[in-house]
Structure 1
Amino acid sequence: MAKLSPLALAVLVMLSERPMHPYEIGRLMRSRGKDQSIKIRYGSLYTVVQNLEKQGLVEADGTDRAGNRPERTVYSVTGTGREAMDRRLSEIIELPEKEYPAFEGALSLVGVLGPDRTVELLERRLAALERELAEGREVYDHLISDLRLPRLFLIEVEYAAHQKRAEADWVRGLLTELKEETIDGMSAWRSFFGGGGFPEEWKDRPFAASELGLNEEAPEN
């Protein structure tokens, strides 16, 4: 059986509370703010539920009708589904998995952009992070104060905020080093983009210019 996606796992968790149809599952997840932590394509919820049914993790449990709308199939989680849900959720909580964030990947290739362009882009990212942190704090305060949600239901929001705050602090520190040109390798990087060619001190390192996405000649400005 393939690993459960975060959305499939969330569907099983929702159905562990009570039988529901896919539209109700999506509405409940949105009302609880799960779309802030899990990428939800509401149009694909039906497909996710159907795939879970094929795997024997959920099953049809009658129909439901609201007003003049067509009947909708209500699903419930099976015993096998509960076992799969518990196993996968436990794995994610217990064991760190190597993930590949786009930003991390871009940082590994940033040499091709040059110092000045990199500083400009990181300043924009830092501004966006600070804006998102401020907005997130307002949302968190609203959920705590106005909706009176227990903190237990918001620990994923706290985790995301801590991650974002740590990233903002790291980017801020990196920007300081780049602007003050105190980061190791900065002089060679600037020389390369100033027309000095691929730095001699980099040629004996365990990477080549082509592996950095750079040409041996300095890029045109």
Structure 2
Amino acid sequence: MTILVVSGTGTEIGKTIVTAAVAAASGGRVAVLKPAQTGVAPGEHGDAAEVVRLAGGEVTALELARYPEPLAPATAARRCGLAPVRPHEIADAAQKLATEHDLVLVEGAGGLLVRYDDEGATLADAARLLEAPVLLVAAAGLGTLNSTALTAEALRARGLACPGVVIGSMPAEPDLATRCNVEDLPVAAGAPLLGVLPAGAGSLRPADFRARAASWLAPELGGVRGMR
């Protein structure tokens, strides 16, 4: 998987931390591409920079656009009068990075079908241009099965491969629904469970994060964790 798209079932579920963990566990030359960073002012720390901080300074980071308001990319671009990011621009940037790196991680904004422009283009359209697999990051708790099943169905409808699902933030003391979801999420996704990240992983010291990243991920993502 020279290019891997990282998407999710929604926002604030751990996509950036999962991206950082995959980057840290990969063991090769890694680039992270953030097509549209929203909710961050010029000069502020964005998601791509956070991946570099956690995974290591040798990771290459690239943003294509930055919009100050924390909104869907299309809305954020329109409100601040800046150009939106188009799928072909995402694909072109990822392909260029792939010529110089072993792995390119393309981290989306929000969920899979969030709009990037007013014509309705989404991260899925960029993944189709790239013919790249889409790693699905899901929440751990109640309600995640439905959103995961819907996202997986959208992937299949577009002919996009999903190598697996990763739980972005597992609480230290999971409730009954969360414990059951560990078993049920692969069924909902129609794809194997490839990782479980503990809640608060992004708050670890970068050295500790890098040392532990492989233990959270299955071998398919460069990790050592055994998955049921």
TM bin, normalised by shorter chain, reads under 0.3
Higher relative contact order (CA 8 A, sep 6+): 2
Query: Could you say which structure has the higher strand fraction?
Result: 2
Q: Which has the larger radius of gyration?
A: 1
Query: Could you say which structure has the higher helix fraction?
Result: 1
Please report the TM-score for the alignment, with normalisation by the length of structure 2: 0.22
